[in-house]
Amino acid sequence: MIGRLPALAAAAALGVTLAACGSPTLSPFRHHMEVGVDRYLIFVADAPGGSDLFAARDNGSDLIEVTFTPVLERSPVLSPDGAVVAFLRATTPADTAPHLWLENLVNGAEREFRIPGKRPPRIEAAAWSRDGRTLYVRTSAGLWQSAAPPARMSPAPVGPAERAVADSAFEVLLGDPPVAYATACPGGVGLCAVGDSGRVSPLAPEGRDPFRWGSDSVAYFLGDAIVIRPLGGGRTRTLIWRPAVPVHPRQPTFFGGAPAR
């Protein structure tokens, strides 16, 4: 993560890059949260006509809608500095091959990520490198990568030497340095932690959609509530939505705030 002023400067530069495909308007966080500074999460929830991205503070307050479209949007992932969210968006209500978009949360500008070729592979998910300089994209034909904005984006297949790092970017890693990752248990019910040795341990029998909550905690949905569980022991807490519970919240991604100086 980077500090407050560098984060805002980087986001402003990104806005210039994104403007080519989506003119900057206003931050969807205006009057609610400060991009790259406050602690917040973005997630998917049902909205009239489809699903949109929503955001809230880390205590469940200031619930706001980030995108407003009549098509399905899903699988958001925040950049490490909290300034950009990458997500999948359908092109029509009946579309089953979503496209990858990046939204600058400072000014609302959007840009589509495009894989070159007449018949590009289907995009399935995106992830960021730990330093935020690389965007990884999982497709039906393997992994791709590109320098992340504000650098010039130039998608290319991930090579064998980079495969392990790219694969790990899509995992919900536990600890820093990581000692395991969280995933659905065998059979698809509940959440488990898988260690370096491959050992599988129960994490949350009825949990779903795990995600990192900073470097020292893991979070997951239990019904429509988010449970935050410290990895080193301590009190587990539940996020309380305020003022209202979103409709079928899912697929969260979290920014832990600007580092203390």
Residues 199 and 86 in one domain: no
Beta strands 110-113 and 99-104: pairing type? antiparallel
Residues 135 and 178 in one domain: no
Tokens representing residue 59 in the block: 């205590």
Q: What is the mean pLDDT of the chain?
A: 88
Nearest CA to 63 out of 230, 189, 224, 217 is that of 224
- Spell out the alpha helix ranges (H) of the chain: 4-18, 163-169
* Residue 36, SS3 per DSSP: coil
SS (H, E, C) 93-120: CCCCCCEEEEEECCCCCEEEECCCCCCC
Q: What is the pLDDT of residue 3?
A: 33
Q: pLDDT of 140-169, one tens digit each?
A: 999 999 999 888 999 999 999 999 999 999
Q: Which residues, listed in sequence order, are joined to residue 101 by a DSSP beta bridge?
A: 87, 112
Residues 74 and 191 in one domain: no
What's the total number of domains in the chain?
Answer: 2
Neighbours of 139 (CB within 10 A): 17
Whether residue 79 has pLDDT greater than 80: yes
The structure's pTM equals 0.88
Rounded Cα distance between 211 and 125, Å, is 15
Residue 246 lies in a domain: no
Residues 38 and 54 in one domain: yes
Residues 141 and 210 in one domain: no
pLDDT band at 77 (very low <50, low <70, confident <90, very high): very high
Is residue 6 left, alpha or beta, with left meaning phi > 0 and alpha meaning psi from -120 to 50? alpha
Residue 53 lies in a domain: yes
Is residue 93 left, alpha or beta, with left meaning phi > 0 and alpha meaning psi from -120 to 50? alpha
Range of the structural domain that residue 49 is part of: 4-171+251-255
